[in-house]
Amino acid sequence: MAKRTRPLRVADRIQREVSEIIQRRFKDPRLPFLTVTSVSVSDDLKTAKIFVSTLDLNKIDDAIKLLDGAKGFIRGELGQRLTMRFTPEIIFKGDLSAAHAQRVGEILDKIHRETPATESEEKNQEGDESEVDS
């Protein structure tokens, strides 16, 4: 158990540091509203997968390409901030969980609109209307 806590702590620290590097040091107008959503570090601490999301989910691939192009700069900045012997290799991945959650919400809304009201719901609505009339 203790062996797995270090990668979790390192992942948390990398997430905070990379977020700050992208927001403050890496100023590219093509990367507005970029968020580092999570980081996964290998057990040997040599590789860090950094998951990012953008406000416009259609531009996530462009954001990944820009980040891959700046990987050396970001890793260098990260190396100065971490107190580790080696700076992990970083791999940027798109986090599409927000898109999936939005899609599930849309499907549930559609089902709710298409499902006819049950008798108990109709009685509740009628009861609410009679209270308003009084």
- Distance CA(76)–CA(119), nearest Å, equals 64
pLDDT tens digit at each of 134 positions of the chain = 456 788 999 999 999 999 999 888 877 777 778 889 999 999 999 999 999 988 877 788 888 999 999 999 999 999 999 988 999 999 999 887 766 677 787 788 888 888 776 655 555 555 555 555 54
Q: What are the structural domain ranges in the chain? A: 2-95, 97-134
pTM above 0.85, yes or no: no
Tell me the CATH number of domain 2-95, given options 2.60.40.420, 3.40.50.880, 3.40.630.30, 3.30.300.20.
3.30.300.20
